[in-house]
Amino acid sequence: MDVKPKKKLGQHFLTDENIAQRIANSIDFKDENYPKPICLEIGPGTGVLTKYLMQNQDIDLNVIEIDQESVEYLMANYPSLYNENRIIGGDFLQIDLKKYLQDFPIICGNFPYNISSQIFFKILDHKDTVKQVVCMIQREVAQRISNHEGTKEYGILSVFLQAYYDIEYLFGVDEHVFNPPPKVKSAVIRLKRNNVEQLPCDEKLFRRIVKESFNLRRKMLRNSLAKYFKGLPEEEKYLTLRPEQLSVNDFIELTNLLSKNIVE
C-alpha cells in the first residue's frame, strides 16, 4: 500500500534518506527540565523522517498528520508508535496543544509549505513550551525567518520569531529529492528558544506596530505609523526609516517611545 501525494495538503514526500537523517540529527536539545523531551513531528506523511526521529534515543516521538490515508499507512508500518498511542490524526493548526498532558518542547517536520507561516504563528502562541524547532520549509521563508534587518526577506515573522528564538539556517535542499518535486527550493532551519520571557515593552503594542509597519513595507514609518507619531518631535530618528531597517531591539525601543506618546 502506498500513499498517493495530495497537492491540496502540500504533500511532497522526501525520497532521500540521507537528508531525512540529517534533519533528524539536527535536533540539538539539552534542558535539565526535560530529561526525555517529546518531539512532535508535524506532517509525517509516510514516515521517511519519522523513522530517523524514532532512532534518536534522547527523545520520545509523537506525530500529527491530517491525511487519513497517511495515518493508516503509519499505523500499519510503525506499530510501536501506534501501540503507544503516539500517532495523532488531526490538523496541527486546530488541535489544542494544552489538552495533551505533556508538553512538546521540540517540534520537527518537513512542514506543509502552504501553511508554514500559520504553523510558526501557532508555535509563537506556545513559545513558553516550544523550546526548539527543526524543520524543512520553502527556502524563501527560511531566509526570511533567519535573516536580519537590512535584507529584503526580513519581515513580520522574522521580527516575531527572532524576538524569542535564536535561528540558524542549516542547509538548502533541492526539489528533485521529493515526490512529486515542489516548484520551490527548500531549506532546513533550527530555532532555539532564547531566554527572553517577556519583551521589555508593551507586547501587544509591539505586535501591532510590527504588523502595521510591514503592511506598508516600502513606506517610511512616518507614513505607516502616522497616528502613533502624532505630536512627536520632527527629528525623531525612526520617522524616516522603513520597517526592514529596524532590528528587534529597535522595534522594542520604538514601541516604548510610542506607548508613552499614546498615554500622554
Contact letters for ligand SAH, residues 75-94 (x by CB under 6 A): ----------------xxx-
Nearest to 81 by CA among 41, 122, 23: 41
| Residue choice 26, 39, 67, 137 for contact with ligand SAH (CB under 6 A) | 67
244 binds ligand SAH (CB under 6 A): no
Q: Between residues 65 and 244, which has the closer beta carbon with respect to ligand SAH?
A: 65
Least gap, CB of 219 to ligand SAH (angstroms): 34
* C-alpha dihedral sign at 192, 23, 247, 112: negative
Give the Å distances, CA to CA, from 207 to 92, 198, 214, 219, 244: 23, 13, 11, 18, 15
The piece of 45-53, 74-82, 202-210, 217-225 that touches ligand SAH (CB under 6 A) is 45-53
Nearer to ligand SAH, 46 or 255 (CB): 46
Nearer to ligand SAH by Cβ, of 109 and 243: the residue is 109
Chain center to CA of 116? 7
Q: Which residue is nearest to ligand SAH (CB)?
A: 43
Q: Nearest distance from residue 17's CB to ligand SAH, in Å?
A: 11
* Nearer CB in complex with ligand SAH: 4/30: 4
Pairing of strands 186-193, 165-173: antiparallel
Q: Per rule CB under 6 A, is residue 43 in the interface with ligand SAH?
A: yes
Q: Buried b vs exposed e over 121-132: b needs ≥16 C-beta within 10 Å? A: ebbbeebeebbb
65 scored as a contact of ligand SAH (CB under 6 A): yes
Q: Is residue 161 at the binding interface for ligand SAH, with CB under 6 A as the rule?
A: no
Nearer to ligand SAH among residue 92 and residue 154 (C-beta)? 92
Which of 27, 40, 53, 110 binds ligand SAH (CB under 6 A)? It is 110
The candidate with the shortest Cα–Cα distance to 39, out of 170, 180, 134, 141, is: 134
Specify burial of residue 67 (Cβ count, 10 A radius: 0-12, 13-18, 19+): buried
Class of residue 199 by CB neighbours under 10 A (exposed 0-12, middle 13-18, buried 19+): middle
Tell me which residues in 112-131 interact with ligand SAH (CB under 6 A).
112, 115
Measure the N-to-C terminal CA separation of the chain; round to a whole number of Å.
67
- DSSP per position, 26-67: T-----TT-SSPEEEEE--TT-HHHHHHHH-TT-EEEEEE--
Among 54, 59, 64, 81, binds ligand SAH (CB under 6 A): 64
Does 45 contact ligand SAH by CB under 6 A? Answer: yes
Footprint of ligand SAH (CB under 6 A): 9-14, 42-45, 48-49, 64-67, 70, 91-93, 110, 112, 115
